[in-house]
């Protein structure tokens, strides 16, 4: 008990010290804005020191949604020493992502010592707009995730789908329940692992779980360490509390990926003919790493951090989207029936749907778009301004962190009729509109 009182007093002291310093730094910022005569976006009423921290509720995107409907489409929020611009309507999100795309191409940096956690400083997702950003973006579009690479890995997705369906059929035959969430994660995990590095992560069933936990744990730690952001001059405390765990998790990931890199290198060395096998993204990245003429010199940590980026970006997003798809179809039997009828008329009953059928399944496409609209699995997109600009008539200072609430964008009543309703038909283009579009395209071409 005595110890806990001492702890509480100690935490209280730290809080008071932090608070005074963060108040001072925020006051300095506001004074600067007044001096420069900046027209900043409004901010909801806040408490001194902690700002809006006390208001936060879970889930974050709903909390942000409530704040925006109460205080306006673009607002400044203050979480301790950290200031964030919250953006909700589709029109302002478009201004940021399209009109000012280069200015907002970077993401906010983490309050982490990059020398101690080199992975964090080497990821592509967090890379500031610059040479590395441009190089990897171009590489993703042209080689790593482009149409050629996706076409080459079509067989992998087909095999994994067959495996998944066989499991479901076996469970049904023996009347065993299926943990749909876990199975959907496993198929995503295996597919992404094979597409990226030609390795099936879960040949043993518990390995999928391990890999899932590693990616989830990395995510959780990133969130915990971001506590440093609100502590201003004491931001190092985030690392102080969670740095050891973060180092351990990166070490486990590093061991796993280093082995895979070595396997790829051994395979390439044993193989004299350059073109005899399909090159997966790891082969391509290692090729660049070994190429002395390459326009950008990649290092080994960047390769591994990029693979971690892909895992984080691809796994939960895809698995969650599939879970939502199953849930929405079960909850909307009429839509489900229409999807089945469309598949039956286009594909028939003698084979499974193939990726090449998708262009001929417009209703199915509309259903998937509606599922992603209602359930965008990445609900908040963080960006950071590079230089001062004007958005929606407000001044946005340089280096401002921006949170784009994709959940609100996807349910913006100015863009979508009945935004909270599941209506796949909204994505169907009528025959007349399709004809008009084709005519216009032809006219433009002829002109």
Name the residues that contact ligand HEM, by CB under 6 A.
125, 145, 192, 309-310, 313-314, 317-318, 321, 372, 377-378, 381
Q: Which two tokens stand for residue 33?
A: 């804005």
Helix (H, G, I), strand (E, B) or coil at 394: strand
Distance separating alpha carbons of residues 94 and 444, to the nearest angstrom: 25
Q: Cβ 423 to ligand HEM, closest distance in Å? A: 19
Q: Which residue has the tokens 């008009």?
A: 436
The Cβ of residue 328 has, within 10 Å, a number of other Cβ atoms equal to 19
Give whichever of 38 and 161 is closer to ligand HEM, judged by the CB atom: 161
Distance separating alpha carbons of residues 97 and 262, to the nearest angstrom: 39
Q: Cβ 291 to ligand HEM, closest distance in Å? A: 22
Those residues with Cβ within 8 angstroms of residue 325's Cβ, 6 or more apart along the chain or in another chain: 367, 368, 371
Give whichever of 242 and 364 is closer to ligand HEM, judged by the CB atom: 364
Give whichever of 94 and 313 is closer to ligand HEM, judged by the CB atom: 313
Q: Cβ 377 to ligand HEM, closest distance in Å? A: 5
Those residues with Cβ within 8 angstroms of residue 287's Cβ, 6 or more apart along the chain or in another chain: 279
- Residue 13 C-beta-side C-alpha neighbours within 13 Å: 6
Q: Cβ 191 to ligand HEM, closest distance in Å? A: 9
Give whichever of 241 and 296 is closer to ligand HEM, judged by the CB atom: 296
Give whichever of 301 and 372 is closer to ligand HEM, judged by the CB atom: 372
Give whichever of 249 and 308 is closer to ligand HEM, judged by the CB atom: 308
Q: Which two tokens stand for residue 295?
A: 């326009």
Q: Cβ 135 to ligand HEM, closest distance in Å? A: 12
Give whichever of 369 and 426 is closer to ligand HEM, judged by the CB atom: 369
Q: Are 227 and 192 in contact (CB under 8 A)?
A: no
Containing 317, the helix (H) or strand (E) segment is helix 300-331
Q: How many Å is the Cα radius of gyration of the chain?
A: 25
The Cβ of residue 308 has, within 10 Å, a number of other Cβ atoms equal to 23
Q: Cβ 381 to ligand HEM, closest distance in Å? A: 4
Give whichever of 95 and 309 is closer to ligand HEM, judged by the CB atom: 309
Q: Cβ 219 to ligand HEM, closest distance in Å? A: 14
Q: Which two tokens stand for residue 317?
A: 């997003």
Q: Cβ 183 to ligand HEM, closest distance in Å? A: 17
Q: Which two tokens stand for residue 49?
A: 């020191």
Helix (H, G, I), strand (E, B) or coil at 315: helix
Give whichever of 22 and 153 is closer to ligand HEM, judged by the CB atom: 153
DSSP string across 168-208: HHHHHHTT----HHHHHHHHHHHHHHHHHHS--TTSSHHHH
Distance separating alpha carbons of residues 210 and 358, to the nearest angstrom: 33
Task: Kindly state the greatest CA–CA separation across the chain.
Answer: 84
> Nearest CA to 80 among 108, 106, 52, 61?
52
Q: Cβ 192 to ligand HEM, closest distance in Å? A: 6
Give whichever of 229 and 280 is closer to ligand HEM, judged by the CB atom: 280
Q: Cβ 140 to ligand HEM, closest distance in Å? A: 6
Examine residue 155 and say whether the peptide bond preceding it is cis (omega within 30 degrees of 0). Answer: no
Distance separating alpha carbons of residues 370 and 247, to the nearest angstrom: 40
Give whichever of 181 and 233 is closer to ligand HEM, judged by the CB atom: 181
Q: Which two tokens stand for residue 87?
A: 């953006």
Q: Cβ 133 to ligand HEM, closest distance in Å? A: 8
The Cβ of residue 320 has, within 10 Å, a number of other Cβ atoms equal to 18
């Amino acid at each position: 008990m005595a110890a806990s009182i001492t702890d509480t007093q100690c935490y209280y002291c730290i809080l008071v010290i932090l608070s005074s310093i963060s108040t001072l730094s925020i006051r300095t910022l506001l004074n600067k804005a007044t001096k420069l005569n900046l027209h900043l976006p409004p901010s909801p009423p806040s408490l001194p020191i902690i700002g809006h921290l006390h208001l936060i509720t879970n889930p974050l995107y709903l909390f942000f949604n409530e704040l925006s409907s109460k205080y306006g489409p673009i607002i400044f929020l203050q979480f301790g020493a950290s200031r964030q611009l919250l953006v909700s309507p589709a029109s302002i999100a478009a201004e940021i992502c399209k009109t000012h795309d280069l200015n907002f191409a970077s993401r906010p940096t983490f309050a982490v010592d990059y020398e101690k956690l080199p992975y964090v400083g080497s990821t592509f997702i967090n890379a500031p707009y610059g040479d590395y950003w441009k190089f990897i973006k171009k590489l993703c579009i042209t080689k790593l995730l482009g149409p050629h690479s996706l076409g080459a890995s079509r067989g992998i997705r087909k095999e994994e789908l067959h495996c998944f369906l066989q499991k479901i059929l076996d469970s049904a035959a023996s009347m065993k329940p299926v943990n749909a969430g876990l199975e959907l994660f496993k198929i995503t995990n295996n597919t992404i692992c094979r597409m990226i590095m030609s390795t099936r992560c879960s040949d043993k069933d518990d390995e999928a779980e391990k890999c899932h936990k590693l990616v989830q744990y990395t995510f959780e730690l990133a969130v915990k360490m971001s506590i440093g952001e609100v502590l201003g001059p004491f931001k190092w405390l985030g690392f102080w509390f969670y740095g050891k765990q973060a180092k351990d998790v990166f070490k486990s990931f590093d061991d796993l990926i280093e082995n895979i890199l070595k396997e790829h290198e051994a395979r390439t060395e044993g193989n004299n003919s350059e073109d005899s096998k399909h090159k997966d993204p790891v082969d391509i990245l290692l090729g660049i790493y070994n190429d002395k003429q390459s326009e950008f010199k990649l290092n080994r940590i960047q390769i591994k951090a990029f693979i971690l980026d892909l895992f984080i970006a691809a796994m939960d997003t895809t698995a969650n989207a599939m879970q939502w798809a199953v849930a929405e179809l079960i909850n909307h039997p009429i839509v489900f029936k229409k999807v089945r009828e469309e598949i039956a008329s286009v594909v028939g009953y003698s084979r499974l749907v193939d990726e090449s059928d998708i262009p001929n399944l417009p209703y199915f496409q509309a259903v998937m778009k509606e599922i992603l609209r209602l359930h965008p699995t990445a609900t908040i997109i963080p960006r950071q301004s590079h230089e001062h600009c004007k958005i929606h008539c407000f001044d946005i200072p340089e280096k401002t962190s921006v949170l784009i609430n994709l959940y609100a964008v996807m349910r913006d009543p100015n863009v979508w009729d009945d935004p909270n309703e599941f209506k796949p038909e909204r994505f169907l283009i009528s025959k007349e509109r399709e004809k008009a579009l084709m005519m216009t395209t032809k006219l433009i071409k002829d002109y």
